[in-house]
Amino acid sequence: MISVEDARALLFELVTPLSAETVHLAAAGGRILAQNVAATRDQPPFEASSMDGYAVKATEVELHAMFKVIGESAAGKRFEGKVGPGQAVRIFTGAPMPDGADFVVIQEDVERRDSLITITHPPGEKTNVRPAGIDFAVGTKIKAPRQLRPEDIALLAAMNIASVPVTCKPVVALISTGNELVMPGETPGPDQIIASNTFGLKALLENNGAHVRVLPIAQDTVGSLETAFGLAQGADLVVTIGGASVGEYDLVADVSEGLGLEQSFYKIRMRPGKPLMAGRLGDAAMVGLPGNPVSAMVCGYLFLVPMVRRMLGIEDVLPPLQQAQLKAPLTENGGREHYMRAIVDSDGIRACDDQDSSLLSVLAHANALLVRQPNDPARPPGDKVTYLPI
């Protein structure tokens, strides 16, 4: 058995950043920028007014000065002439400054009568002129990799970058295995239960940028598993759930090895989730998760999400651990790293009472996984502990 950290290092060896595809800006939110992009223009592309007012010569600006308004510069339609001595041009926010003018007197500081304005309030020192290119200039880069936030999308639009190179979405194929499983919406037999892991993992991995294919449930037969692996063709990551334990009916290891799996490791020194196996299966990475619902989801957070993030080319792939104060004591931990379902709020963190790895209701109630190191001693309230928000 290996540690969680060693397992993750080995899993990272199974995947590499995927290639890029080009998407329209309207579909690029949340995607990972795959290559540096550069502005194709200056912003603003011209000297622009930052206020509504009158464009004049700065040297002529003083209280009680009068100007003759000779035209207008609006956003989208500049004044084509030149501002001479004693002249002003009506101007609006964002409009190009006319030639000859280098100061905007805001409209609140003037009185206008027909085509004459008088400065009636001290206009101050600020010119209210935005230099060309003050936001960005031709060639200003946005550097990859970067997950594109709404602000980035707005900036890319302003740069007139309508198509964006982003990392392809990793395709993850999920295979639930077990004669006891039926799909949600079906009528289970008396000995059967509903396949829940694939749906939970699908939501988790899609939240993290993957494209998920839920495959038909594989029965506990060689033929059924081989069919499922066949249907997984083309995926970047194939995940089986269940059938990775040691019982006679755990066929996943046998079948995947028969199909050419180069096994990387088997079993991790952790709770929940010990029976996890991984390897390389043709062009894809393969991970075999345990079938207990909570184990599968915890392994999703600890291993599958980081693998997806690595395939997306994200630099910071590790689970974002945080710290909080214990609100209730913890007993001594055993020899395996333990990811306890827990509830954290601004006052601290408390492990849930029942840590049985079959209890989805407890997991759905929790909002954190409290991390215990192997043989971590008993801990009193007030101790600082590490957790992963979920």
CA angle 375, 380, 382 (to 5 degrees): 120
Residue 311: strand, helix, or coil: helix
Q: Please tell me the number of Cα atoms within 13 Å of 20 on its side-chain side.
A: 16
User: Residue 210 burial by CB count (10 A; 0-12/13-18/19+): exposed, middle or buried?
Assistant: buried
Token pair in block for residue 264? 């990387």
Q: Which of 88, 168, 312, 366 binds a copy of itself (CB under 8 A)?
A: 366
- Closest CB to a copy of itself among residues 40, 375: 40
**Which alpha helices (DSSP H) does 252-332 contain, by range?**
252-258, 293-299, 305-311
Dihedral sign, CA of 331, 337, 341, 346?
positive
Cβ 260 to a copy of itself shortest distance, Å: 27
Applying CB under 8 A, which part among 165-173, 285-293, 312-320, 376-384 lies near a copy of itself?
A: 285-293
Using CB under 8 A as the binding rule, whether residue 75 contacts a copy of itself is answered as yes
Token pair in block for residue 325? 């104060």
Q: Which of 286, 297, 304, 307 binds a copy of itself (CB under 8 A)?
A: 297
Using CB under 8 A as the binding rule, whether residue 160 contacts a copy of itself is answered as yes
Using CB under 8 A as the binding rule, whether residue 152 contacts a copy of itself is answered as yes
Helices (H) and strands (E) in the chain, counts: 8, 28
Site for a copy of itself in 226-265 (CB under 8 A): 245-249
- Closest CB to a copy of itself among residues 123, 300: 300
Site for a copy of itself in 327-356 (CB under 8 A): 356
Q: Which of 203, 222, 328, 378 binds a copy of itself (CB under 8 A)?
A: 203
Q: CA 305 to CA 207: how far, in whole Å?
A: 9
Using CB under 8 A as the binding rule, whether residue 224 contacts a copy of itself is answered as no
Q: CA 198 to CA 218: how far, in whole Å?
A: 12
Q: Which of 202, 211, 280, 379 binds a copy of itself (CB under 8 A)?
A: 202
Q: Which of 12, 199, 265, 266 binds a copy of itself (CB under 8 A)?
A: 199
- Quick note: the x/- pattern for a copy of itself over 172-191, rule CB under 8 A, is ------xxxx-xxx--xxxx
Residue of 174, 193, 169, 171 whose CA lies nearest to 182? 193
Site for a copy of itself in 96-115 (CB under 8 A): 96, 107
Using CB under 8 A as the binding rule, whether residue 35 contacts a copy of itself is answered as no
